[in-house]
């Protein structure tokens, strides 16, 4: 830990010698050649879809690996701030080899990274390393080349964390305490709400169609708060206020198994479970120095901790440690984890686009999607990756073909790049203001794979507004 002088904030520290902030893996498998659709038995394909989407939990072999430029599905990308004058994003492949993927802009360091909606580019939130006042929103290609740079105004403060919503927008937590929304179509930022300095990390609560955040105040003993925003109107609810039990919080996520909230922090114990109904805390792991938190495609937690990324089970057990010697990790993501990317307004009478991105090794294979009102318990697990859809009435309608005008192209064939586009036509007869979460996920079929599934299309969520 770094001793912080009075009037300065130690929040998400990127390295032990950095100045304080002002107060304002998976296994490889050999790719298989594309399946010849002409030789596939159509009855067998429907049985595979039904099996994949309705079978009880099972475990099969790992999906294939895609190379996209320098990246492969499942690679770990981490933001490294050990040299804040020009921080970098590192790549760790399945074999453990670490390379530099992206070298940031001079005078800025990456403070958070997340997959863009196309599941190929990466959004990198850059923080100003000279005055620690502002930052930039950047899109980086798979080859590590910046394609878009948009600078934040100094009134926002530099970005501490980001989360992508099911309408295609990106939410950012700022040191100023503001929660902003970036519209990729208008290429503009708008303020959603304010929690007070410093809004240190955010996450999407998929089951409640809300944005969660943790607040890291600027004065000792840095008592933390947990807040929840409504994207529809910006209203904020405080779930836990200025508690030393979660002092110095650096990350927040929703436990995909229980729906509870999980908080990471610099103080010990570093990993805590928060019940948002009972408003109670439970220690998951006593480790200190945890610097962020994301949910993996395996329903585990990936947490930066100094020069490492630690994978925790939802009960706090350490499953893996991924080393980045000599580095200071502030954010982590699994490359290619956004396999389902919804976009649209979510309003009745509109069409919500569902972009599907699978590994290139799945080119020309059949895909099957389903939609549900819940994500727990997952209806199936393939190769350690759960399909987080609940077995409810909406799922039966979406995969049964009963509403073809609503669930469009929910079964089809991927193109030569492993991509497809589906859609949900939201009935105009629905009332406005529903705020109803809809979860979409699926599988890619391959008769040569165990149980006929090559890739899990990890579910994503949007809300009917």
HEC profile of 307-330? CEEEEECCCCCEEEEEECCCCCEE
Q: Find how far residue 462's CA is from the centre of its chain.
A: 14
pLDDT tens per residue, range 11-26: 343 333 333 333 333 3
pLDDT tens per residue, range 398-446: 998 889 999 999 999 999 999 999 999 999 999 988 889 999 999 999 9
Query: Residue 263 has what pLDDT?
Result: 98
| Residue 423 and residue 324 share a domain | no
Q: How confident is the model at residue 247 (pLDDT cuts 50, 70, 90)?
A: very high
The residue among 274, 300, 334 that closes a domain is 334
Position 25 in a domain:
no
Q: How confident is the model at residue 4 (pLDDT cuts 50, 70, 90)?
A: very low
The residue among 304, 334, 364 that closes a domain is 334
| Residue 380 and residue 290 share a domain | no
| Residue 362 and residue 233 share a domain | no
Phi, psi of 432 (to 5 degrees): -75, 155
What's the rounded mean pLDDT across residues 372-376? 93
| Residue 204 and residue 227 share a domain | yes
Position 4 in a domain:
no
Percentage of the chain with pLDDT > 70?
Answer: 85
Helices and strands counted in the chain (H then E): 2, 38
Query: Residue 9 has what pLDDT?
Result: 38
In terms of residue numbers, what domain contains 359? 37-64+338-464
| Residue 108 and residue 42 share a domain | no
| Domain count for the chain | 2
Residue 420 and residue 248: Cα distance in Å, rounded? 42
Q: How confident is the model at residue 80 (pLDDT cuts 50, 70, 90)?
A: very high
Distances (CA, A) of 87 to 102, 330, 343: 9, 11, 31
| Residue 145 and residue 232 share a domain | yes
| Residue 324 and residue 403 share a domain | no
pLDDT tens per residue, range 129-175: 887 788 888 999 998 888 888 888 878 888 899 999 888 889 999 98
> Any residues with CB less than 8 A from the CB of 88 and at least 6 apart, and which?
80, 100, 101, 102, 103, 104, 110
What is the full DSSP assignment across 77-140? EEEE-SSTTB-EEEEE-TT--EEEEEE--TTEEEEEEEE-TTSSSEEEEEEESSSSS-EEEEEE
- According to DSSP, the β-strands at 436-445 and 329-334 are unpaired
* Mean of the per-residue pLDDT values of the chain: 83
Q: What is the DSSP letter of 52?
A: H
| Residue 394 and residue 258 share a domain | no
Residue 460 and residue 170: Cα distance in Å, rounded? 14
Residue 115 and residue 335: Cα distance in Å, rounded? 7
Q: Which residues pair with residue 174 across a beta bridge?
A: 159
CATH classification at residue 225: 2.120.10.30
pLDDT tens per residue, range 193-205: 888 778 999 999 9
| Residue 51 and residue 152 share a domain | no
359, 336 Cβ separation under 8 angstroms: yes
Distances (CA, A) of 249 to 48, 191, 196, 218, 456: 44, 22, 14, 12, 32
With tokens 């105004």, the residue in question is 153
Position 11 in a domain:
no
| Residue 242 and residue 201 share a domain | yes
Query: Residue 14 has what pLDDT?
Result: 38
CATH classification at residue 452: 2.60.40.10
Residue 430 and residue 421: Cα distance in Å, rounded? 24
* Spatial CA neighbour of 387 closest among 321, 453, 327: 453
| Residue 201 and residue 117 share a domain | yes
């Amino acid at each position: 830990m770094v001793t912080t002088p009075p009037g300065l904030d130690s929040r998400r520290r990127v390295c032990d010698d950095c100045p304080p902030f002002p107060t304002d893996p998976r296994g490889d498998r050999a790719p298989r050649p594309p399946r010849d659709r002409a030789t596939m038995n159509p009855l067998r394909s429907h049985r595979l879809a039904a099996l994949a989407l309705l079978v009880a939990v099972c475990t099969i072999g790992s999906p294939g690996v895609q190379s996209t430029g320098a990246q492969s599905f499942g690679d770990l990308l981490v933001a490294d701030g050990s040299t804040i004058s020009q921080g970098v994003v590192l790549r760790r492949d399945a074999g453990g080899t670490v390379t530099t993927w992206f070298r940031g802009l001079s005078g800025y360091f990456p403070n958070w990274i997340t997959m863009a909606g196309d599941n190929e580019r990466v959004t990198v939130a850059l923080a100003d390393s000279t005055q620690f006042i502002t930052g930039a929103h950047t899109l980086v290609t798979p080859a590590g080349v910046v394609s878009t740079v948009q600078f934040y105004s100094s009134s926002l403060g530099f970005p501490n964390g980001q989360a992508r919503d099911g309408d295609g927008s990106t939410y950012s937590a700022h040191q100023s305490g503001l929660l902003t929304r970036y519209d990729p179509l208008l290429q503009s930022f708008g303020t959603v709400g304010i929690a007070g300095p410093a809004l240190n990390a955010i996450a999407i609560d998929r089951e409640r169609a809300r944005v969660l955040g943790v607040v890291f105040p600027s004065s000792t003993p840095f008592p933390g708060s947990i807040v929840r925003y409504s994207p529809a109107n910006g209203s904020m609810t405080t779930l836990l206020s200025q508690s030393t039990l979660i002092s110095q919080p650096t990350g927040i996520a929703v436990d995909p198994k229980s729906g509870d909230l999980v908080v990471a922090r610099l103080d010990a114990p570093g990993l805590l479970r928060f019940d948002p109904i009972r408003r109670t805390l439970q220690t998951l792991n006593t480790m200190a120095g945890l610097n962020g938190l994301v949910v993996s495609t395996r329903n585990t937690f990936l947490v930066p901790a100094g020069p490492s990324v630690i994978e925790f089970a939802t009960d706090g057990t350490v499953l893996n440690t991924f080393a980045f010697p000599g580095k200071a990790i502030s954010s982590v993501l699994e490359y290619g984890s956004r396999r389902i990317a919804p976009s649209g307004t979510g309003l009745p009478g509109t069409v919500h686009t569902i972009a599907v991105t699978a590994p290139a090794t799945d080119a020309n294979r059949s895909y099957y999607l389903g939609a549900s009102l819940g994500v727990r318990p997952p209806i199936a697990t393939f190769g350690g990756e759960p399909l987080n859809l609940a077995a409810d009435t909406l799922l039966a309608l979406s995969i049964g073909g009963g509403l073809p005008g609503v669930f469009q192209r929910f079964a089809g064939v991927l193109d030569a790049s492993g991509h497809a586009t589906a859609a949900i036509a939201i009935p105009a007869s629905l009332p406005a203001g529903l705020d109803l979460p809809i979860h979409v996920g699926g599988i890619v079929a391959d008769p040569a794979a165990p149980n006929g599934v090559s890739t899990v299309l990890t579910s994503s969520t949007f809300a009917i507004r």
